[in-house]
C-alpha cells in the first residue's frame, strides 16, 4: 500500500474512533511531510533506520516538543499499519521521544485577568472571556459546545473533550449573567453557544482566538495572550485557593495525573503561604 493511500485509510479509521478534528489536521500535516521526504513509496519499504534519519534531519530545525509531536504521529501511524497488516514489522516501535525539560505553564495574574475583563466591550466578548476563565475549558471544547448542553440550574455544561470523552464543567455567577445577556440579544437560531458576529454560525477556533487577541490588545497588557493561558490561569487560581490536584485534574479533563501535577510547581501564593507556615 502506498503511503498516501495508507494515510487516507488511517484518517478514516481514526475519525471513526473519535480522534478530534484538530488532531487529524495536525497529523495530516505530518503525513504530508513524511510523503514529501520519502516520496509516495510503499509503506512496507520504510525501515527504522530511514525513520531515524528523517527525524535526525528534522531535529535541526524543530523544538523538542515539535519533534515529539512528529514521533507520536509516526508511532500511531505505523502501529495502525502493523495492526491492519499493511506492514509485517512496525518500524517505529523502538523510536523514543526526546526528553524535554518540564515547563511551568504560563498563567495570568489576578490583576491581568481584571485588565482583560475590563477590556471586554460587548456581551459576546464578556460572555466568551468569562466562560473560558471560569470553566478552564480547552478552546476546541467551547467551539463545539451547544446551547442544549448548558444546565442553568447548577451553572454547568457538558463538554466533549479529548478522545471524545464528555465531562461536566462549571461556571460562576458572573459568567452566568453575561452568558444569558449574550444569548438573549442574539436573534439567530443557531444551536452553538458562541457564533460569529456576522452571518451567525458556529465559530471556528481561529475566530475565537482572534476575539481573545482583540481583547488582549485593548487591555494594554504587555504580553501576548492566547486562550490556553486562561485555562492555565483557571488551574492556578484553583490551586492557589486550596483545591486538591485530583479535583483540578477532573475539572480540566486530564487523563494523566502527571499533566496536572506540573501546576504544583507554580510559584503562586499557595506555595508562599505553605513556606511561611512550615519554615
Domains of the chain (ranges; CATH) run 3-84 (1.10.150.130), 110-278 (1.10.443.10)
- Walk across the sheet containing 150-151 and list its strands: 150-151, 156-160, 166-170
Tell me what the mean pLDDT of segment 179-207 comes to.
93
Q: CA nearest 194: which of 154, 143, 148, 241?
A: 143
Q: At a CB cut-off of 8 Å and minimum separation 6, what does 177 contact?
A: none
Model pTM score? 0.67
Check residue 267 and give its pLDDT: 47
More confident residue, 81 or 270: 81
- pLDDT score at 221: 86
pLDDT of residue 142: 94
Average pLDDT of every residue of the chain: 87
Tens digits of per-residue pLDDT, 43-85? 999 999 999 999 998 777 888 888 889 999 999 999 999 999 9
Per-residue confidence band for 20, with pLDDT thresholds at 50, 70 and 90: confident
- Say whether pLDDT at 183 is over 60: yes
Q: Please, which pLDDT band fits residue 254 given cuts at 50, 70 and 90?
A: confident
Amino acid at each position: 500500500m502506498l503511503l498516501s493511500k495508507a494515510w487516507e485509510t488511517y484518517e478514516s479509521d481514526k475519525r471513526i474512533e473519535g480522534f478530534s478534528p484538530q488532531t487529524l489536521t495536525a497529523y495530516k500535516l505530518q503525513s504530508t511531510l513524511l510523503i514529501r521526504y520519502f516520496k509516495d513509496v510503499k509503506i512496507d519499504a520504510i525501515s527504522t533506520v530511514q525513520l531515524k534519519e528523517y527525524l535526525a534531519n528534522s531535529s535541526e530545525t524543530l523544538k523538542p516538543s515539535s519533534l515529539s509531536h512528529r514521533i507520536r504521529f509516526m508511532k500511531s501511524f505505523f502501529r495502525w499499519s502493523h495492526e491492519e497488516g499493511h506492514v509485517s514489522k512496525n518500524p517505529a516501535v523502538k523510536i523514543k521521544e526526546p526528553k524535554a525539560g518540564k515547563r511551568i505553564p504560563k498563567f495570568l495574574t489576578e490583576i491581568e485577568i481584571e485588565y482583560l475583563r475590563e477590556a471586554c466591550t460587548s456581551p459576546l466578548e464578556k460572555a466568551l472571556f468569562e466562560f473560558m476563565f471560569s470553566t478552564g475549558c480547552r478552546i476546541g471544547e467551547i467551539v463545539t459546545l451547544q446551547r442544549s448542553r448548558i444546565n442553568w440550574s447548577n451553572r454547568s455544561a457538558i463538554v466533549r473533550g479529548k478522545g471524545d470523552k464528555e465531562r461536566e464543567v462549571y461556571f460562576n455567577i458572573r459568567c452566568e449573567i453575561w452568558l444569558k445577556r449574550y444569548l438573549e440579544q442574539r436573534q439567530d437560531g443557531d444551536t452553538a453557544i458562541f457564533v460569529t458576529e456576522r452571518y451567525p454560525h458556529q465559530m471556528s477556533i481561529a475566530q475565537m482566538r482572534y476575539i481573545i487577541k482583540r481583547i488582549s490588545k485593548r487591555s494594554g497588557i504587555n504580553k501576548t495572550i492566547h486562550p490556553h493561558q486562561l485555562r492555565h490561569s483557571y488551574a492556578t487560581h484553583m490551586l492557589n485557593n486550596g483545591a486538591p490536584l485530583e479535583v483540578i485534574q477532573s475539572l480540566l479533563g486530564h487523563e494523566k495525573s502527571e499533566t496536572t501535577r506540573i501546576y504544583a510547581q507554580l510559584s503562586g501564593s499557595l506555595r508562599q503561604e505553605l513556606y511561611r507556615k512550615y519554615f
